[in-house]
Chains A and B, each alone.
Chain A
Amino acid sequence: DTGVSQDPRHKITKRGQNVTFRCDPISEHNRLYWYRQTLGQGPEFLTYFQNEAQLEKSRLLSDRFSAERPKGSFSTLEIQRTEQGDSAMYLCASSFGFGYTFGSGTRLTVV
């Protein structure tokens, strides 16, 4: 399967802990996106990379959030000092042009 892979699929963490998610995009895709989806809502844009450069960040991405894409391949999204409001599905997508391919997401539950 050469789709977008996200790991882990599910993560339960205690409030105040740090968590890190990984996304492996489709290898030919130069753009990689992170979106957050809360229950009953549509996805909201967080940040995107073109190759290894992080080109835009949403105001939703507080200073507790950081994303990297070293060498323009996989990406990681880290949340420090998690809060209950961070509970959501974190979706990664990659694209070359207009064809987004989404991963299955990482569901984060902060207890």
Chain B
Amino acid sequence: AQSVTQLDSQVPVFEEAPVELRCNYSSSVSVYLFWYVQYPNQGLQLLLKYLSGSTLVKGINGFEAEFNKSQTSFHLRKPSVHISDTAEYFCAVSERNNAGNMLTFGGGTRLMVKP
């Protein structure tokens, strides 16, 4: 069975600073990888996904992530954050042999952008 670890439960950062949210996964088979954002009292919105091809994936709102197979990581980065990026971020995996594409989520990282 697969698992996802988000190493930081909270990440405080000043506005316009760069940020990296870390995600490591464990799986016995190849996986697809996803990052979602959740604003208070809302559902999850897809930021980006890695299915195949280039290991550097660009998403919405200026976010990008890099798939590192040897380190089983998929860290999320943004070069300059805004106050509006304050939210909960979830990393998720889906095993490639999973016909239903069910997702396994990490515990989340709360990004707190300070002025």
Q: Do A and B come from one complex?
A: yes
Q: A40-B108, A99-B46, A105-B43 are in contact. List 16 more A-B contacts (CB 8 A).
A: A33-B102, A42-B108, A43-B103, A44-B105, A45-B104, A50-B100, A91-B43, A97-B101, A98-B51, A98-B94, A98-B101, A100-B46, A102-B36, A105-B41, A105-B42, A107-B41
- Whether A4 pairs with B43 at a CB distance below 8 angstroms is yes
Q: Which of A22-61 contact B (CB under 8 A)?
A: 31, 33, 35, 40-45, 48, 50, 55-56
Q: How many residues of A contact B (CB 8 A)?
A: 26
Does the CB pair A41–B32 fall under 8 Å? no
**B49 contact set on A, CB distance < 8 A:** 98
Measured between beta carbons, the chain B residues less than 8 angstroms from A43 are 44, 90, 103, 105
| A109 touches B (CB below 8 Å) | no
Complex CA distance for A104 and B45, rounded to whole angstroms:
10
Task: Determine whether the beta carbon of B43 is less than 8 Å from that of A98.
Answer: no
User: Interface size on B (CB < 8 Å)?
Assistant: 24
- A31, A42, A55 interface centre (most CB from chain B within 10 Å): A42
Q: Looking at the complex, which one of B36, B43, B51, B101 makes contact with A103 (CB distance below 8 Å)?
A: B43
- Does the CB pair B41–A42 fall under 8 Å? no
Report chain A residues within 8 Å CB of B106.
Answer: 42
Residue of B nearest to A44 (CB): B105
Contacts A48-B100, A98-B101 given: A41-B107 contact, CB under 8 Å? yes
The answer for the CA separation of A100 and B90 in the assembled complex, in Å, is 14
Residue-by-residue, is A63-96 near B (CB-CB < 8 Å gives 1, otherwise 0)?
A: 0000000000000000000000000000101010
